[in-house]
């Protein structure tokens, strides 16, 4: 039995080749992680130079996350249908081209479209790496790979805002913020070369069904809701944003109906009937939305309220990201023993950190220093890391093994969609409140995040007590 557990599957690559493939997959995931966070710090500079206003600040992050979240599950299905190698190469090439367009964009509209294209092609690329490893890696190598994902992607999440801050301050070749996207030309070209040489050829399964109608309805739902939210909070609640939100709700109802009637839905109805899974889905949706929005407005507050430079703001966010990494790493060892109790701990620490920050902002307003804010930011990061590393693993605790793949894909998509919703919603609150001063705006934003996080606490009781035994990451 021990031999079986560590033996490579028939036709599997050598150990050296498996490490190279793992490096390629980590590169792809790092590109996604960096580009999903890079605008947290860069948004004020980009907006000032392109004269995009509040709407551009909100859409820079939301466009990427919206496209990624809507298409992530579809990307996995397309890989099954047409082959993981083909979809990975398509995603990497498209992501690289979209990055070039983003870096060279002369106006806000093209930049937002390019950000959406980055997210869309990223959704084609990201699911393929995990599928390729699952098919070709030995069990021992797969365990090692899962163990490396958390720490290395945590470093990438730190790297995004820090990279943005230093690049903007360096003003390389007089290009200001543009190199934060143009650097992907080098990384994307490297990824394409590696993928062509390393990834195994696979023909895919033409019988795989991709629910195009369901995907379209989900995209229309999210675009309607986000466009209405952003447009209403930026230009006023006229008929256009109100109608957009109403249409989004109509499409949501149509999407729900489609999932209950389609032969091969994106989200299986049986998953939503599972109380533990649906509770975890709700907790994850709200927590990821609230905390992603918080990170975005923290950067805005540091730069526009506390008058920090882009580099100083990136370093000001470093305690938060370090907290995420430390807590996520610790939770890997604790999740099997503590289960959903870790989610309670994470939510409690988020509430404590945000509460501490609220006291500081109320007391000092825009006279607050980054150093004084750092301990509260670090504490909030610890809570976020504890939740990020546990909510979705625990949510899978009562799932039938045959539905685990679909459930995991759905949770990953919800995480991206929640990030898009959160960055738009919390920044909308921030700007709506800014008329009374940026200190007041930060105070109201923190209160909203505190309220959203507190609402999720009772739902944790309905989640499974333990993560599944085979949980690896």
Residues 137 and 47 in one domain: yes
CA dist 422 to 400, 426, 427, Å?
A: 30, 6, 8
Asked if 466 and 303 count as a contact pair (C-beta separation under 8 A), the reply is: no
pLDDT category at 3 given cuts 50, 70, 90 is very low
| 5 domain-assigned | no
Is residue 86 located within the same domain as residue 112? Answer: yes
pLDDT digits (tens, 9 = 90+) for 80-90: 889 999 999 99
Confidence at 153, pLDDT banded by 50, 70, 90? low
Please tell me which residue, 59 or 152, carries the higher pLDDT value.
Answer: 59
pLDDT at 470 over 70: no
Is residue 414 situated within a structural domain? yes
Q: Which of 230, 263, 296 is the last residue of a domain?
A: 263
Which residues constitute the domain of residue 31? 13-205
Of 263, 283, 305, the last residue of a domain is 263
What are the tens digits of pLDDT across the range 110-149?
A: 999 999 999 999 989 988 887 888 788 877 777 777 667 6
Q: What is the CATH number of the domain that holds 462?
A: 1.20.1250.20
pLDDT at 298 over 50: yes
Listed range (199-213, 334-348, 363-377) with the worst mean pLDDT? 199-213
Residue 459 inside a domain? The answer is yes
- pLDDT, tens digit, for every residue of 227-269? 887 778 777 788 998 999 999 999 999 988 898 888 778 777 7
What value, to the nearest 5°, has the Cα angle with vertex 25 and ends 19 and 30? 120
Residue 6 in any domain: the answer is: no
The pLDDT assigned to 57 comes to: 84
Q: Return the pLDDT at 90.
A: 96
pLDDT above 70 coverage of the chain, percent: 91
What is the mean predicted confidence (pLDDT) over 358-369? 94
- For residues 464 and 373, the model is more confident at 373
- Report the pLDDT value the prediction gives residue 162, as an integer from 0 to 100: 81
Q: Based on the domain organization, do 251 and 394 belong to the same domain?
A: no
What's the rounded mean pLDDT across residues 49-76? 84
On the question of pLDDT at 358 being above 70, the answer is yes
Global confidence as pTM: 0.78
Q: 399: alpha, beta or left, given left = phi > 0 and alpha = psi -120 to 50?
A: beta
Structural domain contains residue 4: no
Q: Write down the pLDDT at residue 37.
A: 80
158 pLDDT band, cuts 50/70/90, is low
- State the average pLDDT over residues 346-360: 96
Instruction: Determine the Cα–Cα distance for residues 68 and 64; give it in Å rounded to an integer.
Output: 6
* pLDDT at residue 6, as a whole number: 41
The residue among 305, 417, 294, 406 whose CA lies nearest residue 350 is 294
Tell me, yes or no, whether 178 and 316 share the same domain: no
Residues 240 and 285 in one domain: no
- So what's the pLDDT on residue 142? 74
What is the reported pLDDT for 275?
A: 85
With a cut of 50, say whether residue 7 has pLDDT above it: no
Asked if residue 316 belongs to a domain, the reply is: yes
pLDDT in tens, 14-40: 888 888 998 999 899 888 888 888 887
Indicate whether 8 belongs to any domain: no
How many percent of the chain have pLDDT more than 90? 35
CA distance 385 to 276: 21
Which pairs from 49-53 meet CB under 8 Å and 24+ separation?
A: 49/176, 49/177, 50/105, 50/107, 50/108, 50/111, 51/108, 52/108, 52/111, 53/108, 53/234
In this predicted structure, what is the pLDDT of residue 393?
80
Are 111 and 192 contained in the same domain?
Answer: yes
The reply to whether 302 and 435 lie within a common domain is: yes
* Per-residue confidence (pLDDT) for residue 151, from 0 to 100: 59
Q: Judge if 195 and 52 occupy the same domain.
A: yes
Residue 1 domain-assigned (yes or no): no
Same domain as 156, residue 17:
yes
Domain endpoint, select from 205, 225, 245: 205
User: 431: pLDDT confidence band, cut at 50, 70 and 90?
Assistant: confident
pLDDT in tens, 390-416: 887 888 787 776 666 667 667 777 777
Question: Is 428 in the same domain as 318?
Answer: yes
Confidence of residue 473 (pLDDT cuts 50, 70, 90): very low
Same domain, 221 and 165: no
Q: Is the pLDDT of residue 472 over 50?
A: no
Co-location of 282 and 419 in the same domain:
yes
Q: Please give the average per-residue pLDDT across 301-310, as a whole number.
A: 91
Average pLDDT over residues 426-438: 87
Question: Structurally, how many domains does the chain consist of?
Answer: 3
């Amino acid at each position: 039995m021990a031999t079986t557990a560590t033996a490579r599957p028939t036709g599997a690559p050598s150990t050296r080749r498996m490490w190279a493939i793992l490096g390629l997959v980590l590169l792809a995931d790092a590109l996604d992680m960096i580009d999903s966070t890079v605008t947290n710090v860069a948004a004020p500079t980009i907006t000032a130079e392109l004269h995009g206003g509040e709407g551009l600040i909100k859409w820079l992050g939301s466009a990427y996350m919206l496209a990624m979240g809507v298409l992530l599950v579809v990307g996995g299905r397309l890989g099954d249908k047409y082959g993981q190698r083909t979809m990975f190469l398509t995603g990497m090439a498209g992501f690289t081209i979209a990055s070039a367009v983003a870096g060279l964009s002369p106006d806000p509209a093209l930049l937002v479209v390019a950000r959406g294209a980055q997210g869309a092609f990223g959704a084609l690329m990201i699911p393929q790496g995990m599928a390729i490893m699952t098919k070709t890696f030995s069990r021992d190598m797969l365990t090692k790979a899962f163990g490396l994902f958390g720490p290395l992607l945590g470093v990438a999440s730190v790297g995004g805002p820090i990279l943005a801050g230093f690049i903007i301050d360096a003003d390389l070749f007089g290009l200001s913020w543009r190199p934060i996207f143009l650097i992907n030309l080098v990384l994307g070209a490297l990824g394409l070369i590696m993928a062509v040489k390393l990834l195994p050829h696979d023909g895919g399964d033409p019988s795989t069904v991709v629910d195009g109608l369901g995907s379209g309805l989900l995209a229309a739902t999210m675009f309607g809701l986000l466009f209405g939210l952003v447009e209403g909070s930026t230009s006023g609640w006229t008929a256009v944003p109100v109608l957009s939100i109403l249409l989004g709700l109509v499409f949501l109802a149509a999407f729900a109906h489609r999932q209950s009637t389609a032969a091969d839905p994106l989200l299986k109805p049986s998953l939503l009937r599972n109380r533990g899974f649906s509770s975890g889905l709700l907790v994850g949706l709200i927590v990821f939305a609230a905390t992603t929005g918080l990170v975005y407005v923290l950067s805005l507050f540091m730069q526009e309220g506390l008058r920090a430079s882009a580099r100083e703001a990136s370093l000001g966010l470093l305690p938060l990201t370090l907290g995420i990494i430390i807590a996520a790493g610790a939770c890997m060892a604790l999740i099997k023993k503590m289960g959903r109790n870790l989610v309670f701990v994470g939510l409690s620490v988020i509430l404590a950190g945000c509460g501490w920050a609220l006291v500081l902002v109320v007391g000092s307003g825009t006279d607050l220093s980054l150093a004084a804010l750092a301990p509260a930011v670090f504490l909030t990061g610890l809570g976020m890391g504890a939740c990020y590393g546990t909510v979705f693993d625990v949510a899978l605790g009562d799932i039938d093994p045959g539905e685990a793949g679909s459930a995991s894909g759905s949770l990953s998509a919800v995480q991206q969609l929640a990030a898009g919703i959160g960055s738009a919603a919390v920044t909308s609150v921030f700007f709506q409140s800014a008329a009374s001063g940026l200190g007041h705006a930060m105070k109201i934003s923190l209160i909203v995040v505190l309220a959203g996080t507190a609402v999720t606490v009772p739902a944790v009781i309905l989640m499974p007590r333990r993560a599944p035994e085979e949980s690896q990451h």
